[in-house]
Chain A
Amino acid sequence: MDSIKVFMLGWEFPPFISGGLGTACYGLTKAMDQLGIQVTFVLPRMVESTYATHVKLLTPESQMPMSTLKLSELQNVVFRTINSPLQPYLTPDSYQHRIEESLRQKRSGNVSSTSQCSGQLDYNSDMFNEVHRYASAAVGLAGNEQYDIVHAHDWMTYPAGIAVSAMSEKPLIVHVHSTEFDRSGENVNQMIYDIEREGMERADKVIAVSHFTRNIIISRYGISGEKVEVVYNGVERNGSDNCALPETGIDKDEKIVLFLGRITMQKGPEYFLQAARKVLDAMDNVKFVMAGSGDLIHQAVEMAAELGIGHKVLFTGFLRGEDVRKIYKMADVYVMPSVSEPFGIAPLEALDNDVPVIISKQSGVSEVLMHALKVDFWDVNEIANKIVAVLRYPPLEMMLRNQGNFEVRKLRWKDSAQRCAKIYEETLKQFEKCIS
């Protein structure tokens, strides 16, 4: 078979990321590119080339409604962006801020809807408008493209995927990086759920990022298990090993326990703080760092104060780039107490930066990591027990770090891309059989 051509529908891509989705799309397409798979990657918004990043972007024709650009390191990937008609942002900064803000809200779903009901409604209607505008623009784009298969990432792109697939009579693959149940617990947004469900039903194949997510897709969305494949995420190695970082001025007599992620219900910040309280009962020379922002940040600050550990918990806000590396450099252990984590790339990055990890069993990443400590997110006693153990027993810390770092090297995007390629082939074979 000739190299497969994929029409890929994404929502975010570096540098415009607010979480795992953009990172995953980048890692996957980069690896597909290396396998020689032709990818046309559609993004809802114009990508600004001025934004500083390690990825070099070619300048897009920003005057044109549809712009094409190519990341210089990706040979076989063409980017198509759909300029936002909603509003031109004045500066890259505010542009960035808006996207991040809206993505954050979107991802945290309507957890906050009880408190900000009216704002949420407005936002939602905007969001759905965006999704449908994206779908119609994508159909327009797709008319000029050659491709064998349509691959859509997460619910925002499912309507586009369904439309493009129907128009072109090409098979549809939806890739589930997270579900409404992960983001919102039991308080699901019915409209989002419906879009997700329709996407999964209409798809020829559903790719889940873990068995954890596959189970949700089967049990909560009623999708037949035969249709749902698991493709684990990989991790991008940054080669951060030998970089000299400036002195941080943190007293290394103090141990650092790190939470890094969005401070939202899904990530379980309250379990981190409750565990911190317990750890401090057992040992004193520890500090807890919460790096990230999110709709629960104020509650988290208040909670730390209520628990009487305000002086032991530091909130850094949202970190990126060098700052993330610095914080990893300082950390003695990374904790991810997520309530429901479809995959969870962050612990892999922690291990990549030589930080041992404690991860919740309610996560996809716990399926692929053996050399990590695993806990139920609600079991704060056990989280605290394991934090103390890592801080107190050096051989444990050393083995988790070394073995974990070694293990992470085996999780390569190349393998994920190969799995996808295999799924493409099988889907196309089945699809042709159905047609003929």
Chain B
Amino acid sequence: MASICFYFQVHQPLRLRHYTVFDKNDHYFDDYKNASICRKVANKCYLPANRLLLDIIRKFEGRFRIAYSITGVLLEQLHSFSPEVISTFDALVETGCVEFLAETYYHSLSSLYSRDEFIEQVNKHTETIEYLFGQKPRVFRNTELIYNNDLAVLVESMGNFDAIITEGASHILGSRSPNFVYRPKYCEKLKLLLKNYSLSDDIAFRFSNRDWPEWPLTAEKFARWISDVNGNGNVVNLFMDYETFGEHQWEDTGIFDFMRHLPEQILKHPDNDFKTPSEIVQAYEPVDTIDVPHLISWADTERDLSAWLGNAMQSNAIHELYRLEEKIKNTSDDKIIADWRKLQVSDHFYYMCTKYFADGDVHKYFNPYDSPYDSYINFMNVLSNLQSRCSGQALLDQNSIANKALMGKNFLTEQKTEDVCCPPVGGS
């Protein structure tokens, strides 16, 4: 039996506007650029891909099943700029064949820097998904699939989740296969789903690469590779950015046609089926324990954190950001807190990456800045303005700080003016 588990990551960053040291305004984001990119990606990817997958789901009457993880920062942008996308996700949810996963609302690296902040963001995301789509996520994926033993223990202790997802990196698996369910070391209940990066990347990265010996990749060929797993594994986890469809791989590469025919080809084999992550968790028991003492991610060939924290500017920027946490939260100013959280979006640090700078590769394509240096300067200028806004605040007395300690719980309702996606105060 080989169960195919599709999970699509759906995210767009919040791009900062050009912000010099002379700017005093507290509006940090490039609304025009964010809006136009959001609409562009909606038209090229989200809308056509949702339509396609909805058609397939209806066609196979429950046999084709998929999962999404949508970040809070994207939901906010969709709500403002392309609300029709949210209703097409709604239609997908209605089919009963779609599962939503949990992650940090702000697509942040908070798991590395602040446990409290991390938990608040995960809760905020869970509540938002529940509010919008009526589903309480049971499977957690961390930003960029960043993972280690400590994270698994933390996520298990939160009590909401049955499983966690990460990269099936060769160096954590050794000779083992990613096509099984595992258990994180030091966890008792939580299960671990590992991305099959080889098959996932065949679609996400290599699909249109004419230098690749397997080009062109047909649904038939891919289904054959999947069927080869039969006997050697239970699951094939195909995890990728949703923007693969129409944005990373343009429509004229044939990516939509590939996807249209894939389920049919895969289901031709009687031993194959599609499952969502939660269904995988229910169907299969862990075969082994996986020990990941060092942090991994799904990025680049290194599968480490160097794309976000690989140089002095990146680590300086992120340390300065999290150093402000207490100060920011003490202001109890919703706008300041929201701005601070939006600065946590991991992409801000990705833009500062100098790793492949000279080669001008994938890092460059998604980078709104001419250079990592410009991105760092811009970010630091914004951060120092944000910092000055904190010190401008009158000091709060102990009493009100204590009240704010409960803020994590009520955070969603307190954010109502900012977060249009969140439930209204008092509910209905």
Which A residues form the contact surface with B (CB < 8 A)?
Answer: 278, 281-282, 370-371, 373-374, 381-382, 384-386, 388-389, 392-396, 398-400, 403
Contact = CB atoms under 8 A, between A and B. Distances in A.
Contacts of B358: 370
B380 A393 contact: yes
Residue among A382, A389, A403 having the largest count of chain B Cβ atoms under 10 Å: A389
19 contacts: A278-B22, A282-B22, A371-B357, A371-B373, A373-B377, A381-B22, A382-B20, A384-B20, A385-B21, A388-B21, A389-B377, A393-B377, A395-B316, A395-B376, A398-B312, A399-B311, A399-B312, A399-B354, A403-B354
Given A385-B20, A386-B377, A396 B313 contact: yes
Contacts of B357: 370-371
B371 interface: yes
Given A370-B357, A385-B22, A393 B371 contact: no
A227 B12 CA distance: 45
Contacts of B374: 373
A385 B377 contact: yes
Contacts, number: 59
A396 B376 contact: yes
B252 interface: no
B381 interface: yes
A370 B357 CA distance: 8
Contact of A396 (B20, B21, B315, B373): B373
A394 B312 CA distance: 9
Contact of A389 (B21, B354, B370, B371): B21
A83 B379 CA distance: 60
Interface of B: 20-22, 311-313, 315-316, 354, 357-358, 370-371, 373-374, 376-377, 380-381
A385 B373 contact: no
A395 B380 CA distance: 11
B306 to A, nearest CB: 15
A242 to B, nearest CB: 24
A386 B311 CA distance: 19
A378 to B, nearest CB: 15
B377 A396 contact: yes
Contacts of A403: 354
Residue among B316, B354, B357, B373 having the largest count of chain A Cβ atoms under 10 Å: B373
B77 to A, nearest CB: 27
A374 B373 CA distance: 10
Contacts of A399: 311-313, 354, 373
Nearest to B23: A385
Contacts of A396: 313, 373, 376-377, 380
A374 B371 contact: yes
Contact of B373 (A373, A381, A382): A373
A260 to B, nearest CB: 21
A347 B20 CA distance: 24
Contacts of B312: 395, 398-399
Given A384-B20, A389-B21, 6 more contacts: A373-B373, A385-B22, A392-B380, A396-B380, A399-B312, A399-B313
Contacts of B21: 282, 384-385, 388-389, 392
Nearest to A382: B20
For the complex of A and B, the 3 pairs showing the least CB-CB separation, nearest first, are A385-B20, A395-B312, A395-B316
A252 B85 CA distance: 57
Nearest to B379: A393
Nearest to A281: B22
Contacts of B354: 371, 399, 403
Nearest to A283: B21
Given A385-B377, A393-B316, A393-B377, A374 B370 contact: yes
A297 to B, nearest CB: 29
Nearest to A388: B21
B380 to A, nearest CB: 5
B249 to A, nearest CB: 28
A385 to B, nearest CB: 4
A392 B387 CA distance: 15
B21 to A, nearest CB: 5
B282 to A, nearest CB: 48
A398 B380 CA distance: 15
Contacts of A382: 20
B58 to A, nearest CB: 50
A390 to B, nearest CB: 9
A389 B94 CA distance: 51
Contacts of A394: 316
A326 B43 CA distance: 58
Nearest to B380: A393
Contacts of A373: 371, 373-374, 377
Nearest to B370: A374
B73 to A, nearest CB: 26
Contacts of B20: 381-382, 384-385
Contacts of A393: 313, 316, 376-377, 380
A400 B373 contact: yes
